[in-house]
Amino acid sequence: MLNIPEAVHQRYQRLKSELNQYNHAYYVLDDPSVPDSEYDRLMRELQDIETKYAELQTPDSPSQRVGGKALDSFSQVKHEVPMLSLDNAFSDTEMVDFERRIKDRINLAQGQNLTYACEPKLDGVAVSLIYQKGLLIRGATRGDGSVGEDITANVRTIKSIPLRLQGDDYPELLEVRGEIYMPRDGFNEFNTKAREAGDKPFVNPRNAAAGSLRQLDSKITATRPLEMCAYSVGQYQGDQKPDSHFAMLKLLGTLGFKINQHIKQVESIDACEDYYQYLNGLRDQLDYDIDGIVYKVNDFKLQQRLGFVAKAPRWAIARKFPAQEEMTRLLDVEFQVGRTGAVTPVARLEPVFVGGVTVGNATLHNADEINRLGVCIGDTVIVRRAGDVIPQIAKVVLEKRPQDAQPIVFPDRCPVCQSSVKRVEGEAVARCTGGLFCGAQTKEAIKHYASRKAMDIDGLGDKLVDALVDHELIYSIADLYELKLEKLINLERMAQKSAENLLNSIEASKQTTLAKFLYALGIREVGEATAQTLANNFGTLDAVIAATVEQLLDVEDVGPVVASHIVDFFRNPDNLSIVEAIRNFGVQWKDIDQTAQALPLKGQTWVLTGTLETMSRAEAKDRLQQFGAKVAGSVSAKTRAVVAGPGAGSKLNKAQALGIQVLTEESMIEFLDNL
């Protein structure tokens, strides 16, 4: 250190401090305080100093999160304070019994209430982190509760784990316990890349987190999107230890740890049930998996009096949610053809209750997924359902494979029109080559065109579309505008009143927006948001039709693949003739003024949450998009405003925590009317 100029030493310490603060703001608070370019510039400066003056580098340097030399194996470590498991409760009755046992043990009158700390039970991997004089010195897995594995090199790569505690007022020795998990978005992105590379994807986010933490090469762990939430402490040597669990969590938050935003302190067992219903309703909207709720007697003195039984504390319990994974049997596989010709294998399952619903079908994605799973008809499989995600087969239980199991053969001919099935190089999906000749593609294209988010033709359901195509009354979406009453009433179960209502709805669909029409055309990979972006950027359909790949690539959210799909669609003379026919039938919209004044919200991201009372969520989204706004499903530091109605939950809380403007539905309408 003697040869290091004092100015360099001071600059290095300042860089460390600033970068650690920026890391905390970005990964723990979800509130970036500087642009990425500024962060990168400071990090490069810090690394340059460490290269020139290697003796300056310390274990808490932000540069040390990239992983080090690979290990030959993990060493074992003993937990000074055992990491215990929890007893489970699966019903209200078991929760009432849990409280009754507590009250009996501490002689608390039945009329008196206990205070509980409630927190989501994250579905990840439990870890122990030890800090000495504020510095992270060890990370370990739970193991068997008494002995775990030393994963220090791996936990150091996780950016939501502080390498040094924040502030100066921290315990001499602190053992923090928490859950390391992989958020759903990161899990889905990782699996998508794994499948594209021909690698084995993870079964679920918990499996992904566990596999990532058990890498002997910490550089691999550093590439995985892992996070950690702290939920308790083990060892604590220092003054002024908090007197309750809830207060301890608040302290951990001030020391730099990520604390789950849904923790809550309640005053009765009935309030615990209310929290269960609240979180169970919120479960599908979270960006991470939870499998229940942990309830803990809040007061540390009461915890000490209650003690432990076997390997679990008497003062805590886990209330479990319905399982999101179950085993069942694969009965058969059918191949469905979508509107773009994609041939998708659909598994027919022995019905099983999973994720709160009875599941009888699951997606198998494509031929590559069938081969990766090695699944056969007759196999016992693990079915996973999380939130609104379509149920999928996650794994085959090979130990239960029957002797008469049959391999799944992917068809080389379309199951609907018998045209050849081809797979374009570089794509995972096989497609029917029949185009509009294929009845399935025609039907799906019409269903999509008539759907609520497209042309919103009320009364034109799936069965009616099937009947119209099967009876050769329509051959394309343009033919909808030539339907006559006398033809419709001849269809089975089609009364005159229903036919009249349908024709009225078809007539009403002629007044639409450019964005809805673009979406309704069913161009591959052009969803609602992309259609609105195209409309906002080009203003007219003719401009979109004439756009080159280069012009499309200048549009936000349009990449090379989407651009080529758009160009290919409008270079097809059959598609152009259908579009022209539709316009000739009177389908129309207002072109979009391209001036900045017409799109005052361009570049802004808005979020809708809660119940809207005077308009639907879709209508509010349309209005915002017409002014150029992007409407997102989650709140981040880049969100411009949040519109919150009754029942708004976590999105509203996050917006308030980040200081983002919150509007009522009424104030949003007034704001838009005045633009």
Q: What is the DSSP letter of 649?
A: -
121 is catalytic: yes
Q: Which residue has the tokens 């809805």?
A: 516
Residue 312 burial class via C-beta count within 10 angstroms: exposed 0-12, middle 13-18, buried 19 and up: middle
* Distance in angstroms (rounded) separating the CA atoms of residues 618 and 532: 13
- Please list, in sequence order, all residues whose beta carbon lies within 8 angstroms of the beta carbon of residue 79, skipping any fewer than 6 positions away: 128, 140, 143, 145, 146, 147, 148, 234
Please report, for residues 24, 191, 275, 313, 315, the alpha-carbon distance to residue 304 in angstroms, rounded to integers and kept in the order given. Answer: 33, 44, 25, 10, 9
Q: Residue 107: helix, strand or coil by DSSP?
A: coil
When computed from its CA atoms, the radius of gyration of the chain, rounded to whole angstroms, is 29
Q: Which of 121, 447, 516, 654 is catalytic?
A: 121
Residue 72 CA neighbour count, 13 Å, CB half: 0
Long-range pairs for 50-57: beta carbons < 8 A, 24 or more residues apart = 50/12, 53/4, 53/8, 53/12, 55/1, 55/4, 56/1, 56/4, 56/8, 56/9, 56/12
DSSP string for 307-372: -EETTEETTEEEEEPPPSEEEEEEEEEEEEE-TT-BEEEEEEEEEEEETTEEEEEEE--SHHHHHH
* Distance in angstroms (rounded) separating the CA atoms of residues 375 and 534: 41
- Please list, in sequence order, all residues whose beta carbon lies within 8 angstroms of the beta carbon of residue 169, skipping any fewer than 6 positions away: none
Please report, for residues 94, 277, 322, 390, 568, the alpha-carbon distance to residue 353 in angstroms, rounded to integers and kept in the order given. Answer: 22, 19, 9, 14, 44
* Distance in angstroms (rounded) separating the CA atoms of residues 103 and 133: 39
Strand 605-609 relative to strand 630-632: parallel, antiparallel, unpaired? parallel
* Rounded (5°) CA angle 338-345-332: 135
Which residues are part of the catalytic machinery?
121
